[in-house]
Amino acid sequence: MKIHEYQAKELFKRFGIPVPKGGVAESSWEAYDVARPLAVDSFVVKAQIHAGGRGKGGGVKIVHSPDEVSQAVDSMLGIRLVTPQTGPEGKLVMKVLVEEAVAISSEIYLAVILDRSQRKPVLMASRSGGMDIEEVAAKTPEKIVLEALDPMLGISAFNARKVAFGLELGSELVRPFTKIAMNLFRLFSELDCSLVEINPLVLTESGDFVALDAKINFDDNGLYRHANIKALRDFHEEEPLEILASRHNIDYVKLDGEIGCMVNGAGLAMATMDIIKECGSMPANFLDIKGGAKTENVVNAFKILMSDQNVKAVLINIFGGIVKCDMVAQGIDEAMNHVDVSVPVVIRLEGTNAAEGTQMLAQSGYPFIIANGLKDAADKVVALLQKASGGS
């Protein structure tokens, strides 16, 4: 789960990481009321969307009076902000963050990421803050300092100091930097994050560190332990079909292809997507129906697939282990009474009672296309798709 910058900064404050003074606003008059008591000469207005690169897209504006803050907010709210990270359709701006502007001396990148190959959280830092870190990693990897941390032991001051030395910070900055890095790791660990990033962590002209930007991603599997974090979820920022799926306990990720997939089991769902690609097409989604593939799940999965305009054919791939294929077949058959399925459906059943299930589907009266094995299923669905889109 992602949250907004203004929410991440509240958490930073709670963990002792310095952030600029300011507050969130949903209208130009609210923004004025946030700006005025700050009593400074320069303000920053920042669009709150779940995407970075706002600086490049016009989503970060520096202005010089509360009135100008109001004007900047008026020009930002309600627009679809396009940044290098949003895609061409952009993201709707519904909130802004208004802050005192900071006089920047230098910008540092600081993050805690999860390195899956090492199976460890890693402290990652660079003097090239404010820039696209992927670009820094690709072009000048020597400018990135990495310090792997033991998940059981956590972070020690010497880990953070090593990073400070790697960045060649002045000796007077080592102690404040160490404190921020340790607090950042504490936040990452205590709140079950998958990523915490400050880009940029700035050194101000008066010699203090301030987190100018804040990005936090949470591990969804840990959210049940943090009701107050779960409450920060902003549904406006999420794919509507993914919200619908999560309400029905279906794991679903929308993708760009035309073949809708309905599979039981995450691993099998991944394999199904792979073989569709191998056969020359693209999956429209990842979908794991989980929960024993009951009728209700199948109905909901079909509803999700049919709500995606891109889906031109469906591939159902079920492996009957604990769940029996004849039960699934019954579920698919019944689902047809509840959902208007307007595209060809290829079904592959394997495992417990596969023969019974397949026979039920063949006799159901619906024009299901029964496949024999995963490769056959993928070949058939790709061929149908090509036929539907006017190919040979």
Chain positions contacting ligand GDP, by CB under 6 A: 44, 46, 52-55, 60, 62, 101-102, 104, 107, 130, 199-200, 212-213
* β-bridge partners, 217: 2, 195
Instruction: Identify the active-site residue in 107, 109, 147, 252.
Output: 109
Instruction: Identify the active-site residue in 5, 107, 147, 197.
Output: 197
Closest separation in Å from C-beta 213 to Mn ion: 3
Spatial CA neighbour of 81 closest among 42, 41, 45: 45
Is 197 a residue of the active site? yes
Distance separating alpha carbons of residues 197 and 148, to the nearest angstrom: 16
Closest separation in Å from C-beta 268 to Mn ion: 38
Distance separating alpha carbons of residues 52 and 2, to the nearest angstrom: 12
Q: Left, alpha or beta for 192 (phi > 0: left; psi -120 to 50: alpha)?
A: left
Phi, psi of 86 (to 5 degrees): -95, -20
104 binds, among Mn ion, ligand GDP, none (CB under 5 to 8 A by kind): ligand GDP
Closest separation in Å from C-beta 46 to ligand GDP: 6
Binding mask 155-194 for Mn ion (x = CB under 5 A): ----------------------------------------
Does residue number 128 form part of the binding site for Mn ion (CB under 5 A)? Answer: no
Q: In this chain, which stretch among 43-51, 171-179, 205-213, 362-370 interacts with Mn ion, using CB under 5 A?
A: 205-213
Does residue number 213 form part of the binding site for Mn ion (CB under 5 A)? Answer: yes
CB count, 10 Å around CB of 35? Answer: 27
In the bound state with Mn ion, the residue whose beta carbon lies nearer, of 111 and 275, is 111
Q: Strand runs (DSSP E) across the chain, as ranges? A: 22-25, 43-47, 60-63, 80-81, 91-92, 96-100, 104-115, 120-126, 144-148, 193-204, 209-211, 215-218, 251-254, 259-263, 285-288, 313-320, 345-351, 369-370
Distance separating alpha carbons of residues 162 and 174, to the nearest angstrom: 9
In the bound state with ligand GDP, the residue whose beta carbon lies nearer, of 130 and 166, is 130
Count of alpha carbons within 13 angstroms of residue 239, beta-carbon side: 16
Does residue number 197 form part of the binding site for Mn ion (CB under 5 A)? Answer: no
Is 252 a residue of the active site? no
Closest separation in Å from C-beta 112 to Mn ion: 16
Closest separation in Å from C-beta 20 to ligand GDP: 6
Please list the active-site residues. 109, 197
